[in-house]
């Protein structure tokens, strides 16, 4: 649970340069991703790619904007992730690999597939399913960030921020809902645009998230007081009834 002191600090916090950098980076990141997709495609007449761009702008930028209003201090900390000195040594490599797969390689593969070479073309059902997954991922990820003020970019025990176990919201269902939301985003992208080959980097990105969830969970059980007891009550890391 989050104590009252942390809640008061949240209310007093203001968005600072690192948090502003997160907002601007997220906003322009959507257009960079779109540029990679359309550049690889060699054409702009791809309605489902434009649908993906609009969804990304509304959902990806929208969710961080909401968090910035409700808990600007969290966004500030997320913007300082490269300066954190107590990050687990394996985590920066996983964060970087996920970023490369999900935000750079994935749109390029999708663009090459549906635009330039036409290797595959998933039907309208995939666009509908992908849109549902993308919106669901946004809801889960935003919900997790709103209830968990320790939702930083990197894995570390946040002694400087009075790190505590959070058991409310989606954390009642699974222990790592943020990874669920991010995984849904990755899987949704190729479905929305209609690319079968795009599912390959998407699945690899999800595999990185699963690996990271396992390592983070082990870290929290070993080092964060109260987490092992929480894990005994909330049995599953990502998928209720499965894992």
Tell me if 167 sits within 8 A of 234, measured CB to CB: yes
Domains of the chain: 4-81+89-233 (1.20.120.1630)
Closest CA to 54 of 137, 139, 134: 134
User: What is the value of pTM for the model shown?
Assistant: 0.90
pLDDT, residue 1, reads: 35
* Distances in whole angstroms, Cα of residue 51 to Cα of each of 45, 75, 76, 109, 158: 12, 27, 30, 17, 38
Q: What region, left, alpha or beta, does residue 124 occupy, with left being phi > 0 and alpha being psi -120 to 50 degrees? A: alpha
Q: What pLDDT score does 2 carry?
A: 37
d(CA 104, CA 240) in angstroms, rounded, equals 30
Give Rg (Cα) of the chain. 18
pLDDT at res. 73 = 93
Burial (Cβ within 10 Å: 0-12, 13-18, ≥19) of residue 82: exposed
The pLDDT of residue 6: 45
Beta-carbon contacts of 154 under 8 Å, excluding residues fewer than 6 positions away, are: 81, 84, 87, 88, 91, 92, 95
Q: Which of 210, 42, 211, 187 is nearest to 106 (CA)?
A: 187
Greatest C-alpha distance within the chain: 57
Question: Residue 49: its pLDDT value, please?
Answer: 97
pLDDT at 84 (0 to 100): 87
Q: Identify the segments of the chain with pLDDT beneath 70.
A: 1-12
Alpha-carbon distance 106 to 87, whole Å?
27
CA distances (Å), origin 243, targets 209, 213, 234: 13, 11, 11
Q: Which residue has the tokens 């549906």?
A: 114
The pLDDT value given to residue 12:
57
Q: What sign for the dihedral angle of Cα 115, 96, 59, 139? A: positive
SS3 at position 234: coil
């Amino acid at each position: 649970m989050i104590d009252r002191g942390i809640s008061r600090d949240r209310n007093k916090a203001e968005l600072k340069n690192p948090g502003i950098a997160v907002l601007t980076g997220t906003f322009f990141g959507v257009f960079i991703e779109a540029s990679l997709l359309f550049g690889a495609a060699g054409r702009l007449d791809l309605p489902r790619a434009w649908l993906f761009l609009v969804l990304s702008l509304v959902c990806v930028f929208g969710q961080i904007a909401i968090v910035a209003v409700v808990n600007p201090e969290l966004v500030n900390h997320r913007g300082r992730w490269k300066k954190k000195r107590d990050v687990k040594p394996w985590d920066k490599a996983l964060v970087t690999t996920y970023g490369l797969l999900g935000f750079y390689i994935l749109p390029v593969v999708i663009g090459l597939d549906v635009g330039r070479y036409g290797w595959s073309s998933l039907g309208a059902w995939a666009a509908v399913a992908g849109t549902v997954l993308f919106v669901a991922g946004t809801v889960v990820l935003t919900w997790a960030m709103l209830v968990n003020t320790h939702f930083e970019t990197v894995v570390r025990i946040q002694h400087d921020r009075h790190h505590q176990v959070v058991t409310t919201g989606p954390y009642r269902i699974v222990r790592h809902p943020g990874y669920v939301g991010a995984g849904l985003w990755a899987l949704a992208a190729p479905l929305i645009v209609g690319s079968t080959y795009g599912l390959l980097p998407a699945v690899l990105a999800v595999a990185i998230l699963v690996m990271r969830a396992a390592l983070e969970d082990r870290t929290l059980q070993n080092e964060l007081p109260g987490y092992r007891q929480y894990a005994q009550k909330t049995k599953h890391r990502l998928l209720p009834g499965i894992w």
